[in-house]
Amino acid sequence: MPGLNPQLLARLVGLGVGGVIVQTAAVSQVPVAGANADLTPLLVMAVGLLCGSLAGGCFGFGVGLFADDVSLQTLGISSLVLLAVGYAAGRLREARDPEGTLVPLAAGAAATLIFALGFALVHFLLGVDAPVSWALVRQTLATLVINTLLALPVYALARRWLQPSLPDDPRRRRRRAYTTGGLSPLSRS
């Protein structure tokens, strides 16, 4: 694959393995308001926003497979849903070039909601018996609120971790040249 940066690949693997271990060992053990935070869709969303759709989808698949393996769940369910989350976040980056400070908040909420609904849908389609009640809806909404609040710190940590190995984006370089006092192409006459 042309343009494969081994340093970026190593950092993505470290981020994924570290994130799943922290999620399994610490974060899932601490309930807040009757629900647990879930860092995996937030990490996948952050990688999608920072690296693009291909890297986001591959990272989501890998993190989902590792999370399923660590938590002894049916292999592939989280992989399938997190692949979609990472790809969608990457497409957002490629189509809109999100620069706003609140974009990770909205994307984190969307990633959490897509992951929760997709995970439940795949379980339903596979015929897994699970109790459905208002407590499940309340727990899903509480997880959504918690993950929305955690989206900015997780995005900032992922950005800090991946920044040294990310290639420069030509769209940002071009925009930066005009805002730093460089002449606009329209004013050169």
pLDDT digits (tens, 9 = 90+) for 151-184: 999 999 999 999 888 876 555 544 444 555 555 5
Distances (CA, A) of 22 to 4, 13, 58, 94, 166: 27, 14, 20, 29, 24
Q: How far is it, in rounded angstroms, from Cα 104 to Cα 46?
A: 7
pLDDT at 1: 44
Distances (CA, A) of 72 to 45, 55, 101: 23, 25, 36
- Give me the residues paired with residue 32 across strands: 35
Closest CA to 82 of 51, 46, 50: 46
Q: How far is it, in rounded angstroms, from Cα 111 to Cα 88?
A: 9
Give the count of beta carbons closer than 10 Å to the beta carbon of residue 34: 10
Q: How confident is the model at residue 185 (pLDDT cuts 50, 70, 90)?
A: low
Closest CA to 56 of 91, 21, 24: 91
pLDDT at 33: 77
Residues in the chain: 189
User: What radius of gyration do the chain's Cα atoms show?
Assistant: 18
Q: How far is it, in rounded angstroms, from Cα 36 to Cα 71?
A: 15
* Single pTM value for the model: 0.82
CB 114 within 8 A of CB 88: yes
Closest CA to 53 of 81, 82, 87, 83: 87
| Domains of the chain listed by start with CATH number | 6-179 (1.10.1760.20)
3-17 b/e with 16+ CB inside 10 Å = b?
eeeeebeebbeebbe
Residue 37 DSSP one-character state: -
pLDDT at 161: 92
Mean pLDDT, residues 96-111: 84
Mean pLDDT for the chain overall: 83
